[in-house]
């Protein structure tokens, strides 16, 4: 029998497939279904396609391996084959589609009787109805009595106070608090302070006041007359002191002729009182024409005493100002880190940013001034770290059955001493309150289902309490504590 192979395009719909089957004009048509499918995918579509093929007198079949398409096509009565060879060799059998039978409608009169049938309780008598109502009300009351009441248990556990004195090792090398060696971490902080101070000088220095005067004898070295003008400079043999002639001196002609004149020193003070025969060197061309000499010592040079800073003034003023700046640095650190503990021995100057004395050296002055700006550094310890270390230390001293109350821990700082290997040893005194451990579940079990007085007595006898417990039922007139643990609230009061 002739079989037409009809390829199906993914864009084909039901009308396109019907046209392809009509144009094939063959008793059998094998639809080569695409792998990605097409618009015909439902059972209803395959039923319509089979009916259109039956109207044309053509038997159709599908060539696909898609399980869903095979199920839909077979449900519509269309045979499905996995490959072309099988489709051409085997017979095409198709089954008729059987529609589900309609259910027979129920008798309307029967439905009406079921709809208007009397309720079950209508067949009960008056006493039965009242008994059922009373049983329901009693059940509701019992449920409410079991679930609604609640109670509050206020327990004050037994307490004990412990104190401990220990030495903490403070160093910036520690990263965290450690109870093994009582390590307490610290951090370095710096602060810059500056100021100036002045004080009256206590020393005296001598200043040149008057020049020295000398009588010079000039000797001619040439055969003609020589004139020594006023203001001629005459040097001492050391070359340090200079005298000036105060008048013009004329030397007669001939070698060895001499004349005397007066001279005054250029510098002032006692140092200008030169000994005899110390002056004699002239400046300029006159040095080749004449020589000078002072047969007598130069006299008249005097020094005057004036106030000036002594070396101790510099040291005392700097020490006083540094002590004041250290106090300012400590106050600045406290203002900048109000909640930190300062390791006082670690407060040291790190660098001098400015250090200026006026006058810078012992020179005449009535007042010595100093301007100083210093960067200080110190170690700071967090109080939280100190309390954490105290909690760790106190925990090892806990009495049996008690636990430390973290909020009660107090730490007092004591003596601080530097350590040889670096860091500081800080004496600390810790104090804390321990409270007995109370189990809320045990308290609920002891109190449930009892009167408030009985529950309070049992709690007092069983649990370690510092004060009688308070048992408050709700409502207040309810005579028992609730049986449900969820309705019992336990409050542990730790002052």
pLDDT tens-digit readout, 304-313: 888 889 889 9
Query: Based on the domain organization, do 334 and 279 belong to the same domain?
Result: no
CB 436 within 8 A of CB 464: yes
Q: pLDDT tens-digit profile of 189-238?
A: 999 999 999 999 888 888 888 899 999 999 988 888 888 999 899 999 88
pLDDT, average across residues 417-444: 91
Domain-embedded: residue 494: no
Looking at the structure, do residues 193 and 325 belong to the same domain, yes or no?
Answer: yes
pLDDT of residue 106: 56
- pLDDT over 70 (residue 95): no
Average pLDDT over residues 106-125: 70
Question: Is the same domain home to 214 and 332?
Answer: no
Smallest CA-to-CA distance from 238 within 283, 267, 279, 271 is with 279
Q: Is the pLDDT of residue 491 over 90?
A: yes
Query: Residue 56 domain-assigned?
Result: yes
Range of the domain at 219: 206-306
CATH number for the domain harbouring residue 321? 3.30.110
Q: Is there a single domain that holds both residue 270 and residue 313?
A: no
Q: How confident is the model at residue 99 (pLDDT cuts 50, 70, 90)?
A: very low
pLDDT at 376: 95
Q: Count the Cβ atoms, other than its own, within 10 Å of residue 422.
A: 10
The phi and psi torsions of 79 (rounded to 5 degrees) equal -70, 150
Rounded CA-CA distance 355/371 in Å is 6
The tally of domains found in the chain comes to 3
Instruction: Decide if 296 is inside a domain.
Output: yes
Residue with more model confidence, 309 or 145: 309
Q: What is the mean pLDDT of the chain?
A: 88
pLDDT of residue 142 exceeding 80, the answer is no
Contacts with 170 (C-beta within 8 Å, 6 or more apart), sequence order: 184, 186, 343, 379, 381, 416, 423, 424, 425, 426
Last residue of a domain, one of 89, 109, 142: 89
Report pTM: 0.54
- Token pair 């060879």 is at which residue? 85
Pick from 333, 391, 330, 331: nearest CA to 168: 391
Per-residue pLDDT averaged across 380-395, rounded?
92
Residues 192 and 324 in one domain: yes
Pairing of the two strands 226-228 and 249-251: antiparallel
Q: C-alpha angle with apex 355: 314 to 328, nearest 5 degrees?
A: 95
pLDDT category of residue 428 using cuts at 50, 70 and 90: very high
Asked whether residue 115 carries a pLDDT value surpassing 80, the answer given is: no
**pLDDT value at 102 more than 70:** no
> Are 298 and 374 in the same domain?
no
**Residues 197 and 320 reside in one and the same domain:** yes
| Residues 197 and 346 reside in one and the same domain | yes
What CATH number should be reported for the domain holding residue 227?
Answer: 2.40.30
User: At which of 328, 363, 381 does a domain end?
Assistant: 381
Q: 491 versus 305: which is more confidently predicted?
A: 491
Q: Are residues 259 and 236 in the same domain?
A: yes
459 touches 472 (CB < 8 A): no
Helices vs strands, H then E, count in the chain: 10, 24
Strand partners, 60: 29
Convert the pLDDT of each residue in 437-487 to its tens digit: 999 999 999 998 899 999 999 999 999 999 999 999 988 888 888 888 888
Question: What percent of the chain has a predicted confidence (pLDDT) above 90?
Answer: 42
Q: Is residue 430 part of a domain?
A: no
Residue 495 pLDDT > 80, yes or no? no
Please report which residue ranges of 195-339 form alpha helices under DSSP H. Answer: 311-336
Q: Where are the alpha helices (DSSP H) in 6-115?
A: 14-24, 43-56, 67-75, 84-89, 108-115
- Domain final residue, candidates 46, 70, 89: 89
| Terminal-to-terminal C-alpha distance of the chain | 105
For the beta carbon of residue 414, count every other beta carbon within 10 angstroms: 11
335's tokens: 């203002």
Reported as a pLDDT band with limits 50, 70 and 90, residue 107 is low
pLDDT score of 157 more than 90: yes
| Residue 8: pLDDT over 60 | yes
pLDDT digits (tens, 9 = 90+) for 341-369: 999 999 999 999 999 999 988 888 889 99
């Amino acid at each position: 029998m002739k079989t037409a192979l009809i390829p199906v395009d993914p864009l084909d719909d039901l009308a396109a497939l019907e046209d392809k089957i009509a144009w094939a004009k063959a008793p059998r048509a094998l639809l080569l279904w695409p792998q990605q499918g097409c618009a015909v995918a439902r059972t209803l579509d395959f039923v319509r396609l089979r009916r259109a093929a039956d109207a044309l007198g053509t038997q159709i079949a599908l060539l696909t391996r898609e399980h869903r398409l095979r199920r839909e096509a077979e449900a519509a009565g269309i045979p499905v084959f996995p490959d072309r060879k099988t489709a051409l060799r085997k017979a095409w059998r198709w089954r008729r589609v059987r529609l589900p039978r309609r259910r027979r409608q129920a008798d309307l009169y029967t439905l009406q009787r079921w709809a208007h049938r009397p309720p079950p309780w209508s067949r009960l008598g008056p006493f039965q109805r009242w008994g059922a109502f009373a049983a329901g009300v009693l059940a509701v009351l019992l449920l409410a009595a079991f679930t609604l009441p609640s109670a509050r248990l206020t327990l004050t556990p037994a307490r004990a106070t412990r104190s401990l004195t220990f030495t903490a090792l403070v160093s910036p090398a520690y990263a965290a608090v450690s109870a093994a060696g009582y390590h307490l971490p610290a951090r370095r902080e710096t602060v810059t302070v500056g100021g100036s101070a002045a004080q009256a000088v206590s020393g005296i220095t001598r200043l040149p006041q008057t020049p020295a005067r000398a009588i010079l004898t000039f000797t001619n070295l040439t055969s003609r007359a020589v004139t020594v003008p006023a203001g001629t400079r005459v040097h001492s043999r050391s070359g340090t002191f200079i005298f000036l002639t105060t008048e013009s001196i004329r030397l007669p002609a001939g070698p060895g002729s001499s004349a005397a004149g007066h001279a005054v020193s250029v510098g002032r003070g006692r140092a200008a009182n030169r000994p005899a025969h110390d002056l004699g060197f002239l400046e300029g061309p006159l040095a080749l024409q004449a020589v000078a000499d002072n047969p007598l010592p130069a006299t008249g040079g005097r020094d005057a005493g004036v106030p000036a800073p002594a070396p101790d003034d510099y040291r005392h003023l700097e020490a006083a100002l540094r002590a004041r700046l250290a106090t300012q640095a400590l106050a600045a650190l406290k203002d900048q880190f109000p909640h930190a503990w300062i390791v006082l021995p670690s407060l040291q100057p790190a660098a001098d940013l400015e250090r200026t004395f006026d006058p810078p050296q012992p020179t005449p002055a009535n007042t010595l001034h100093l301007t100083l700006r210093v960067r200080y550094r110190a170690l700071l310890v967090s109080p939280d770290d100190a309390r954490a270390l105290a909690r760790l230390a106190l925990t090892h001293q806990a009495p049996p059955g008690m636990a430390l109350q973290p909020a009660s821990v107090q730490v007092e700082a004591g003596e601080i001493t530097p350590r040889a290997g670096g860091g500081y040893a800080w004496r600390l005194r810790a104090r804390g309150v321990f409270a007995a451990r109370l189990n809320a579940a045990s308290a609920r079990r002891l109190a449930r289902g009892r009167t408030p007085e009985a529950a309070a007595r049992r709690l007092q006898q069983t649990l370690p309490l510092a004060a009688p417990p308070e048992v408050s039922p709700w409502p207040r007139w309810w005579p028992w504590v609730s049986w449900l643990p969820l309705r019992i609230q336990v409050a542990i009061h730790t002052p």
